[in-house]
Structure 1
């Protein structure tokens, strides 16, 4: 509490901005003296999770535990992708840039969680003042290093393939344990963007919509499934009473145009991220490989049929919705972008296997004989 020129000011209030009027003042004319929504911050918490988008999304369950443990806290999140975070669940979302770094280095926090091994994230862990710190620090040799023993497991599985392959903990559980918490299957915190009023009149109606995310990014192309496999899956879905909907970004547009022309499966085109998220929200189930759409699907609590080959299957928690399916031939290309055998084992994943996973996860109104 401070008094400036005879006016009471609460800089410790969650609503207080310091540079502009707070929302209660703007909307209701409240001032600090006698303010009915005064909310003093008891803990200041900083999360450093920069990217990629999928990793940011699957870190959001931590917000549920922090709100439970510290209901009167102010949570700040530093990231490279602020638009993906649910603004209503986080008090302050900052993009990683020089102004944010200077700002954070002048502040002090009660808890700091650095969940990235990027060198800039580790340097921030070391340079920002906090009473307790969790996650990764910067080793004197200039590389990431566990900040305490809680970070050892996640650190080691990230630097040795053999340990990563032996790991049987889902990513979210590893993150919780790194922060000193037991994972209790807290759900993601995510914005469906349903309030935006997007018009989806062109979507098929009257049948369960199965979103088919046909791409996987350009880093690990060993995950790609051929057009022939997608066409076979689409035919099976259509014959069983489902309505397949092709999903993807600009990188998948050409493929999706081909698949649409070959099968008549619905394809509405490409969209900005928020609209794409809401399009996925319209689906009754999602078929995807390990990519951003997988994280979005899980966050939207959709039955997710996850096609995986090069990653440890224990890494993924589908929260009891959907199934993980893998090729009939064991993959030997752990975290590799090109296949050591010349032909990706994804071609050994039959369309029938994916279809059966859809059928057991999303009820179809009628099945062909």
Structure 2
């Protein structure tokens, strides 16, 4: 053990910070010489997954396998959205928000294993430069600056991202693909996620005595071909109410006006918009969630809720609902794969998804009484 001015210092401990006192010192007064919670780090792992939020959430099952294979490892995760990652529980030792300072910091360090799951050039450039004998995922080709698989295992996932035809033929869920990219067999590992129950959120306005079905009515502004009309939502809400369910309207600022209209038309509960941790906790109060492919879908799966997933423009094999809920699609086949506007014009194929079909999926997934 090295010492400084005669004081022993366990700089290799999983708890040690170097710039501030470690948590065991702050909370219990422990010092390195006789610390009962000293854990020497055996491997240092860098995980780069910047965004979007949903993709960050659905990368968390990988933590379970990394912790299983490397129980005494130190995991650093670089992301654009640190708040969405699990706090506490010992899953991640260090969460860094991607910026110049973090990149500079990481390039000065050495890792045993580095994984980059993003094809953004800045993420690939970082994996190219970071010091690690084992690298998985995507790097940057120095000759032309394009994203490129750093190892053979990454080639399948890489190709499905650059050719629509291969993406449409793919039959592997996203989580399985990223496990295989890292050389692991996917065994149904669940997401690692925080319900935020410890924040003390109170929901007195939520319906009581009936199964609550969260209805996430938006889908973001990138692929608006996923949107369902107010008329369809009203029809679904009325069917749910008649059958003894309590619909709860969900969404952010972009869905606020729509949810107000739906509340006025049907009386379905609508509590408003909330910061992300509180929104997550609101979803945790649901017995089932109806959603398009959007952030709320990833949160619902992470919370282990029966998820009724309305899909049209994405490969349905991409999504693993872990045996909870159902995936429902329009009666007419969608031809607008990963497109934000319908090639045929008009309202788009989501209007060919009957409210009754979604309702039957809710009934099959969440029982009344």
TM-score (norm 1): 0.98
Give the CA deviation at 1:28.
Answer: 1.1
Matching residue of 1:111: 113
User: Is 1:252 the counterpart of 2:262 in the alignment?
Assistant: no
Alignment correspondent of 1:86? 86
Q: What residue number does 2:242 align with?
A: 239
Deviates more, 1:256-265 or 1:123-132: 123-132
1:57 is matched with 57
Task: Identify unmatched segments of 5+ residues in structure 1.
Answer: none
Partners of 1:211 and 1:286 within 8 A in 2: yes
Query: 2:150 corresponds to which residue?
Result: 147
- In structure 2, the residue matched to 1:326 is 329
For 1:11, the equivalent position in structure 2 comes to: 11
- Asked if 2 retains the 8 angstrom alpha-carbon contact of 1:233 and 1:355, the reply is yes
1:321-350 Cα deviation digits (max 9, x unpaired): 000000000000000000011131000000
Q: 2: distance between equivalents of 1:58 and 1:24? A: 31
Deviation at residue 29 of structure 1 after TM alignment = 1.1
Q: More deviation in 18-27 or 260-269? A: 18-27
> What CA distance in whole angstroms lies between the structure 2 residues aligned with 1:257 and 1:105?
49
1:345-367: CA deviation from partner (whole Å, max 9, x where unpaired): 000000000000000000013xx
Q: Match of 2:29?
A: 29
**RMSD of aligned Cα (Å):** 0.5
Match of 1:182 in 2: 185
User: Contact conserved, 1:87 with 1:93, CA < 8 A, in 2?
Assistant: no
CA distance in structure 1 between the aligned counterparts of 2:96 and 2:28, rounded to whole angstroms: 27
Instruction: Give secondary structure in 2 for the equivalent of 1:260.
Output: helix
Instruction: State TM-score, norm by structure 2.
Output: 0.98
SS in 1 for 2:47: strand
| 1:104-155 CA distance string (max 9 Å, x none) | 0110000000000000000000111012000001012111001011000000
Offset at residue 26 of structure 1 (A): 1.0
In 2: Cα distance, 1:228 partner to 1:110 partner:
55
Instruction: Compute the displacement of 1:43 (Å).
Output: 0.4
Residue 356 of structure 1 corresponds to which residue in structure 2?
Answer: 360
- For 2:126, the equivalent position in structure 1 comes to 124
Equivalent of 2:176 in 173, 195, 198:
173
CA distance in 2, matches of 1:27, 1:257: 47
Task: Specify the SS of the correspondent of 1:164.
Answer: helix
Aligned length: 365
1:314 aligns with 2:317: yes
2:75 matched to which residue of 1?
Answer: 75
CA distance in 2, matches of 1:63, 1:195: 22
Q: d(CA) in 2 for partners of 1:137 and 1:101?
A: 15
Report 1:207-356 matches (<5 A): 207-343=210-346, 344-356=348-360
- Deviation at 1:87? 2.0
- Residues 198-227 of structure 1 show CA distances to partners (whole Å, capped at 9, x for unaligned) of 110100000000000000000000000000
Q: Secondary structure at the match of 1:104?
A: helix
